[in-house]
Structure 1
Amino acid sequence: AVPPFNAQPTLGALFIGVLISCFLFGIVTLQTYLYYRKFPEDRARLKIMVAFVCVFELAHCICVCHAAYYMVIIGYGNPSFLLRSPNTLSLAIIFSGIIGPIVQVFFAERVRIVSEGNLIIPIFCWTLSSLRLTLSLIAAGKGLEMTNLAQFQAKWEWLLTAVLSIGVAVDLVIAASLCYYLTKRKAQSMER
């Protein structure tokens, strides 16, 4: 007899992840709308970057929704569908791999400005963000070549872990740097 299939650890996690992704995309959309409404005089370059990030977030959301639909609806009742991954999952990695470094480079530039020209931290962040982008594109390429999700995970899990770890590391360095330099500036302005 075939053992019963427990969808909770696989499809349940996928479903929750897609819901959270769609919710966060809604927040990005609202923030984009409010940005264009409140700051119509901002430089065109900044407006284009915001639009680019929003459009790529939309594409990412569409890709993860399609991947979930493929695995849950098209593959309904067929657990072997979980061994295959739709190409849209790899496309989602590409979109995410582009969005993250763009935002990190922007905030690393803010660190440079707030630190009054200190280049050490921004160059460190720019370098790691470039590495993250490169590794994301490699991971997506390997994902498009794969035929079995379990084999892909066994062979390339380290790559996905590296991409995510680099993203977290850069985010933490940027957040800590901004906190430090903004607190330092506030203390200096209070002395005056």
Structure 2
Amino acid sequence: MAEVPTASNVTLISGPMLIGVFFNMILYGILIVQTYHYYLTYKGDVRWIRYLVLYLFVIETVNTGCDMAMMFQTLINNFGKVDTTKFFPTLLAAEPITIVAISTPIQLFFAYRIRLLSKSSWLAGIIAFFATVSLGGGAWSTVRIVEIKVFARKPELHLPALVWFLSAVVSDVMITVVFVITLNKRRTGFIVTDDAISKIIRMTVQTGLLTSLFAIGDVIFFMTLPASFSDIYYS
């Protein structure tokens, strides 16, 4: 007779994922407004940047749809089944690849902007390198999720996930630091210009720091929670 998952098992495995999906959907709503505002306001941007914004919006839409479908499978289709606490949701494999499909182009775009601002190809190259490594780590994580399938083997995802997360952290931190240093060097002494630079620096620090903190949080939680997932299943 198949083991029936307990309430605590489902709560500890599916609860954090559901909360994450809630936050993702809230942020997706903000993204819709931002995308609409961008196309309404910045009609003069070069075509490739407008296409990049459209691409990011489409991939984020796919990612959000996969999140919702993943939780529907877990909490509705598999309700009361042992599969809920034994196997990864089918669309969990889509998470790493769609996330890096969003983050990597953004990091490469910032690397391009840094090259224009700092005139330093090697700084931009290092950022692009870690962004590309992050892309590879995300793709590797997707492949391993498909191969592993069960929560009990989740610790086997440590290596590809660390490659993905840590390289993303390095890239994000470098983008923030280099932007701040480069913009500070461009102060002219004119109040209007310096105020504009200060606003850009504040925005860069706020967004870059937030992104880095979340990436670091990903590493910490992923490294500390997998063992508990295995223990939950076998308890």
Q: Same fold (TM over 0.5)?
A: yes
Give the match's secondary structure for 2:112.
helix
* Distance in 2 of aligned mates of 1:103 and 1:78: 40
Q: How far is the alpha carbon of 1:72 from its aligned partner? A: 1.3
- Does the aligned pair in 1 maintain the 2:5–2:80 contact within 8 Å? no
1:135 — aligned with what? Answer: 137
- Does the aligned pair in 2 maintain the 1:139–1:160 contact within 8 Å? yes
Q: Which runs of 5+ in 1 are unaligned?
A: none
* Distance in 2 of aligned mates of 1:138 and 1:10: 23
* Distance in 1 of aligned mates of 2:181 and 2:50: 28
- Does the aligned pair in 2 maintain the 1:108–1:125 contact within 8 Å? yes
Match of 2:150 among 148, 151, 171: 148
Match of 1:45 among 22, 43, 48: 48
Aligned length: 188
* Distance in 1 of aligned mates of 2:13 and 2:89: 15
Per the normalisation by structure 2, the TM-score is 0.74
Q: How far is the alpha carbon of 1:2 from its aligned partner? A: 7.7
Per the normalisation by structure 1, the TM-score is 0.90
- Does the aligned pair in 1 maintain the 2:86–2:151 contact within 8 Å? yes
Q: Which runs of 5+ in 2 are unaligned?
A: 192-235
**What does the per-residue CA deviation read over 1:29-65, in whole Å, with 9 as the maximum and x for residues that have no partner?**
2111111000111111001110000000000011111
- Does the aligned pair in 2 maintain the 1:67–1:85 contact within 8 Å? no
Q: How far is the alpha carbon of 1:143 from its aligned partner? A: 1.6
1:23 — aligned with what? Answer: 26
**What does the per-residue CA deviation read over 1:98-147, in whole Å, with 9 as the maximum and x for residues that have no partner?**
111100000111111121x1112110010111111112112112222333
Give the match's secondary structure for 1:190.
coil
* Distance in 1 of aligned mates of 2:91 and 2:164: 18
Matched, 1:190 2:189: yes
1:126 — aligned with what? Answer: 128
